[in-house]
Amino acid sequence: MTTQDPTNAGSAPTPGPIPGPKPGPRPGPRPSAAPVPPPTSVAPGSDPHRFGRVDDDGTVWLISSAGERIVGSWQAGDAEAAFAHFGRRFDDLSTEIALMEARLESGTGDARKIRAAAATLAETLPTASVLGDVDALAARLSAITEHAESAAAEAKAKREEQRAEQTARKEALAAEAEELAANSTQWKAAGDRLRTILDEWKTITGLDRKTDDALWKRYSAARETFNRRRGSHFAELDRERAGVKHAKETLCERAEALSGSTDWGPTSGAFRDLLAEWKTVGRAAKDVDDALWRRFKAAQDTFFAARNAVTAERDAEFKANATAKEALLVEAERIDTSDADSARAALRTITDKWDAIGKVPRERTDLERRLRAIEKKVRDAAEADWTDPQAQARAEQFQARVEQYEKQAAKAEAAGRTREAEEARANAEQWRQWADAAASALTKKR
**Cα gap 306→262, rounded to integer Å:** 8
pLDDT of residue 35: 41
H helix or E strand, kind and range, residue 134:
helix 134-183
DSSP conformational letter for 8: G
Calculate ∠ Cα 296-297-303, nearest 5°.
100
Mean pLDDT, consecutive 10-residue stretches, the chain (446 aa), reads: 36 34 36 40 65 92 92 90 93 93 85 89 92 93 87 78 88 92 91 93 90 93 93 87 88 88 90 90 87 90 89 88 90 84 87 89 88 86 66 79 86 87 86 81 61
- φ, ψ dihedrals at 282, nearest 5°: 110, -165
* Domains of the chain, residue spans: 6-160, 162-240, 242-386, 389-445
Look at residue 305 in the predicted model and tell me its pLDDT: 93
pLDDT at res. 8: 38
Residues 6+ apart with CB under 8 A from 94: 40, 41, 42, 43, 46, 132, 137
∠ CA(243), CA(246), CA(247), 5° rounding?
85
pLDDT tens digits along 267-325:
999 989 989 989 898 888 889 889 989 988 998 899 889 988 888 888 898 899 999 98
| Residue 243 to residue 251: CA distance in whole angstroms | 13
pLDDT of 445? 55
Report the side by side order of strands in the sheet with 59-64: 52-54, 59-64, 67-73
Full-model pTM: 0.37
Alpha-carbon Rg for the chain in angstroms = 61
Query: What is the per-residue pLDDT across 51-76, written as a single tens digit (0 to 9) for each?
Result: 999 999 999 999 999 899 999 999 88
